[in-house]
Amino acid sequence: MSENREAQAADAETAPPSTRKEIIQGLNEDLAREYKAIIQYVVFSSTLKGAEYGDIAEQLKQHASQELEHALEVARQIDYLGGNPTMKSKEAEYSDDSKKMLEIDLRAEQDTIKNYRERILQAERAGEFALSEKLRGIIAQEQDHEIDLKDALGLR
Ligand SMILES: [Fe+2]
Ligand SMILES: [Fe+2]
């Protein structure tokens, strides 16, 4: 048993095998982040003030719809893998200040992208290629969201 563990630990230093359970746990974290994104975009697209933010307000509504599609897809993948999709959101953040709110959204997108990258690697290590394909589609949209937010903040 302990020898087996050592062998697993040695493997883990190079390419740790991802178990289905780990992937389900990770996907449930991703799902909770998608719920949070939906909440933030729904609220903020309707409360954003300032003429300079006219374009981004429309884009945030589109983000909200896309995050819902992501949540539906991730939940479907969790169910397919034999897991239970979470009903809990990560805690949503808010600011009255438009710039700060956009910064909150940007940080959230970057965190989301980082986590989906990890999930894609896990999926591929486990041979779950259909899942990794779906996640690649999602991450491409998250990267577009990041670009929209950076443009609105004058960071590009
Ligand atoms: Fe998303
Ligand atoms: Fe996003």
**Each residue of 59-69: pLDDT tens digit?**
999 999 999 99
pLDDT, tens only, 3-34: 555 555 444 445 556 689 999 999 999 999 99
**Hey, what amino acid is at 17?**
P
- Local structure of residue 96 (DSSP, 8 states): S
d(CA 51, ligand 1 centre) in Å: 26
d(CA 81, ligand 2 centre) in Å: 23
Q: Which ligand is nearest to the CA of 63?
A: 2
**Hey, what amino acid is at 70?**
H
For residues 3 and 91, give the distance between their C-alpha atoms in angstroms, rounded to a whole number: 41
d(CA 73, ligand 1 centre) in Å: 10
Q: For domain 19-152, is the CATH number 3.40.640.10?
A: no
Residues of the chain with pLDDT under 70: 1-18
List CB-based neighbours of ion ligand 2 within 5 Å: 109, 142, 145
For residues 136 and 84, give the distance between their C-alpha atoms in angstroms, rounded to a whole number: 22
* Predicted pLDDT of residue 55: 84
Mean pLDDT of the chain: 90
Q: Which ligand is nearest to the CA of 60?
A: 2
For residues 125 and 26, give the distance between their C-alpha atoms in angstroms, rounded to a whole number: 14
pLDDT above 70 covers a percentage of the chain that reads: 88
For residues 42 and 46, give the distance between their C-alpha atoms in angstroms, rounded to a whole number: 7
d(CA 31, ligand 2 centre) in Å: 12
For residues 120 and 137, give the distance between their C-alpha atoms in angstroms, rounded to a whole number: 11
Residue with tokens 């438009």: 98
Structure tokens at 23: 């992937």
* Predicted pLDDT of residue 122: 95
For residues 34 and 103, give the distance between their C-alpha atoms in angstroms, rounded to a whole number: 17
* Predicted pLDDT of residue 50: 81
* Predicted pLDDT of residue 118: 97
**Hey, what amino acid is at 14?**
T
Q: Which ligand is nearest to the CA of 105?
A: 2
d(CA 37, ligand 2 centre) in Å: 7
